[in-house]
């Protein structure tokens, strides 16, 4: 095969790949663009069935005004922040302690415990939803934000493997030198390991925060009081409250989704560098 023909085929293949990737990128961006556009769209009738670009198209913040004035979105947002921050703090502490113990300590049941946790972590959380509901009901914790915090942070140890992989990359010589100087295991953990583990801590915080922030299934199962809704359940109930409320409140729903998504995007973008470092450093065999 001559070099010109091979070069042409390589360019054709690369061009085809770029076209496919561009189309996939447009398909991924289109729903986000539509959500943002609809959140700011102001028309005489704000239903979803309107023309995408009507002749009397106007953009403004009226949907956000309706969101905060005519709904309990502010309350739902505060509830979500309380649950997410509390769950994030507990989950991060649990994961760091379990990961450090499995990475650094050697005990008889270490390998079986790791295998059991890994297998249990493969099962989706909603499979235990009914059992968790009846346990919380027996404890009198249903319809409370505390129940959500307990549910989200209770299974934190099942996500130990990424953090453990990061701890495995830290040289043991540092700990051995600290032990020779008289340091205890807690002191080594807080004074030596944690300062070196900033990337994996940020990764753990982000993943622990996003899960309760976006969850809908457990909230819908446990919470029935409108005052204690999170944003996901509140927006769902708002848009399905009445027969015609979907069309009437769709732009308000998009405004709420824009606020919720904007907070997560801002948080993620501000910590993206540490997130990438954490997940790549922890992706090693323990």
The architecture that CATH gives domain 72-281 is: Orthogonal Bundle (1.10)
Tell me the angle at which helices 145-154 and 198-214 cross, rounded to the nearest 10 degrees: 130
- Please state the φ and ψ torsions of residue 58, each to the nearest 5 degrees: -135, 145
CA of residue 256 relative to chain centroid, distance: 17
Let me know: does 221 contact 126? Beta carbons within 8 Å.
Answer: no
The H or E element that residue 187 is part of is helix 185-188
**Given this model, what pLDDT does residue 15 score?**
86
Mean pLDDT, residues 165-191: 81
User: So where are the chain's domains?
Assistant: 3-60, 72-281
3-state SS assignment for residue 56 = coil
Per-residue pLDDT at 163 = 82
Q: Which tens digits make up the pLDDT trace of 185-223?
A: 788 888 888 888 888 888 888 888 888 888 888 888 888
Whether residue 40 has pLDDT greater than 70? yes
* Beta-carbon count within 10 A of 217 CB: 13
Q: To the nearest whole percent, how much of the chain has pLDDT over 90?
A: 9
**pLDDT tens-digit map of 62-121:** 888 888 888 888 999 999 999 999 999 999 888 888 888 888 878 888 888 888 887 777
The model carries a pTM of: 0.80
């Amino acid at each position: 095969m001559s070099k010109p023909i091979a070069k042409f085929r390589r360019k054709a293949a690369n061009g085809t790949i770029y076209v496919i990737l561009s189309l996939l990128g447009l398909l991924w961006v289109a729903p986000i663009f539509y959500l943002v556009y609809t959140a700011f769209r102001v028309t005489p009738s704000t239903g979803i069935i309107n023309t995408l670009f009507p002749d009397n198209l106007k953009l403004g913040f009226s949907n956000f005004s309706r969101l905060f004035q005519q709904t309990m979105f502010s309350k739902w947002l505060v509830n979500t922040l309380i649950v997410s921050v509390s769950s994030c703090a507990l989950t991060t502490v649990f994961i760091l302690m379990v990961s450090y113990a499995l990475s650094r300590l050697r005990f008889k049941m270490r390998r079986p415990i790791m295998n059991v946790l890994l297998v249990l972590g493969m099962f989706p959380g909603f499979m235990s939803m009914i059992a968790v509901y009846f346990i919380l009901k027996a404890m009198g914790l249903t319809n409370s934000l505390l129940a959500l915090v307990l549910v989200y942070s209770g299974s934190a140890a099942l996500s130990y493997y990424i953090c453990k992989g990061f701890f495995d990359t830290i040289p043991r010589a540092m700990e051995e030198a600290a032990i020779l100087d008289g340091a205890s295991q807690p002191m080594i953990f807080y004074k030596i390991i944690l300062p070196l583990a900033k990337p994996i801590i940020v990764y753990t915080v982000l993943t622990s925060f996003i899960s309760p922030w976006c969850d809908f299934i457990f909230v819908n199962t446990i919470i029935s009081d409108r005052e204690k809704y999170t944003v996901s359940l509140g927006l769902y109930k708002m848009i399905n409250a009445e027969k015609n409320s979907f069309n009437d409140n769709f732009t308000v729903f998009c405004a709420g989704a824009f606020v919720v998504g904007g907070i997560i995007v801002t948080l993620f973008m501000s910590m993206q560098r540490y997130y990438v470092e954490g997940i790549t450093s922890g992706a090693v065999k323990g």
